[in-house]
Structure 1
Amino acid sequence: MNLKTLNKMQAKLERAPLKAIILTLIISNMVFGLDAQNLVGKGKLLLRVSPLNAIVKIDSKKVNSKPGIMSLDSGWHYIEMWAPTRVLLIDSIYIKADTLNRYTKVLPVTESYLAYRKEAVSFKAKRTATNLLIPVIGVVYYPLVVNPKINDYNNQLKTLQDQAQGIATEYENLTFVGTFEAYKKEYKELVQQYNSTLEERDKYIEKQYYIYGAAALLEIGVIIWTANWNKPKFVEETLLSNVALKTGHVLQNPTLGLTLKF
């Protein structure tokens, strides 16, 4: 073996450990570099969206809208949020790596639903007032009109009864025969007046029964009538029309509206 061959072999032996070291460094760098990339390139998001029945999408992927923590790549993401009677919101969030990011949003009520609620409250108040009109009149009518009238009849009857009772007592104690007929006639007139007043009172009470009965039938008719009134109806706005109303930077993509298929 000549000197030249020995030098080549020695050079190979010297380079072999160096190659092993370099290969080890490359592999280690790849492994630990990927771990570092995963650590730096991921972040946590604590998401809170109200109401709890909201539908939430992050980068067109549906996620759980209930409060919770999820893992996302670091960087910008866009989030879509919608719930019945609520405004569709599209927002952007930035996720910092190796950080717990927090995002809280309360979806506002749509103007159309607010208008519907206002109209519904007005409708309910109007129908309730109409249904209660006759009962309220009846409640006021009895103590202000009927009850005083009946009390007046009862007072008249009590007065006539006392007068007749007084004449009857005096009649028993009479000693002059000539006055018997006069007391008897007066007593008879009081009794007739008493019976006439009693009959008039009973007819008045009977008349009130008919009035209240007619009012009850009229009230039933009013309730049936108001039940057939056209109630306000709320029509949920379509999602695409909601998207069309938004002009945020996310909507620069003309296909975005087609992705909002909740």
Structure 2
Amino acid sequence: MKIAKPFTRAKRKQLRTPSHQPAPGLKILANAEAFCLATQWIAGYTEKDCTMSTLKGPTLKGPTLKGPTASSQPKDGPSPTCMSINGVSYALPNDPRTTLLDFLHQNLALFGTKKGCDHGQCGACTVLVEGERINACLVFAFQLRGKAITTIEGIAKNDELNPLQSAFVKRDAFQCGYCTSGQICSSVALQKELADKTPSAVTFSENYSAREDISERMSGNLCRCGAYPNIVDAIEDVIALEPQ
């Protein structure tokens, strides 16, 4: 492996000389700092809406984003070039590197889905795609073209809380509330899994309780406050109300 040599005394003196033309890398760094200062207050701007030049540094790719860009597609379903979020069709972002989580936050201002670890380990960013739960931080937005996505903002219907939301309040199944949106979305998917008789890791055991099954299915959603017993209680309450 080639080891980079440190600057000599003469080289350091040359770099400190005002008349010296900075190296391209230093110029990019200076341009990047100025670019960030100039754009940090532009509404709707994200750091992914720029391109990097080896000589000029970062520059905006196009016009500044102005918030949600709802497409002209009907609300009854997404088109192949769009995705439906809570029943509304949106055009896919131009940057293929944009994750679904960043798209929800930076383009649509839907902040109910939380960014916790940003590595798919905590479950705070759980959303539903065609009824199945996924971590929004691990999927690119363009991968969901033509899909129907439901976030925590779409769980309640006509300002009426979902039974799981009401059960979480009744059972005090949260403290700080940061993970609650992911917990509720995951709980909604859990109901569908039980209805479809989808097995979990414990269902292959000879003896297991329904409470153990719920705990296993919810194990991908962490609660730093430790409200797990109340979360399971809330889910049990809703399951008990469902026709068997």
Question: What TM bracket, shorter-length normalisation?
Answer: under 0.3
Higher strand share: 1
Higher helix share: 1
TM-score by length of 2: 0.24
TM-score by length of 1: 0.23
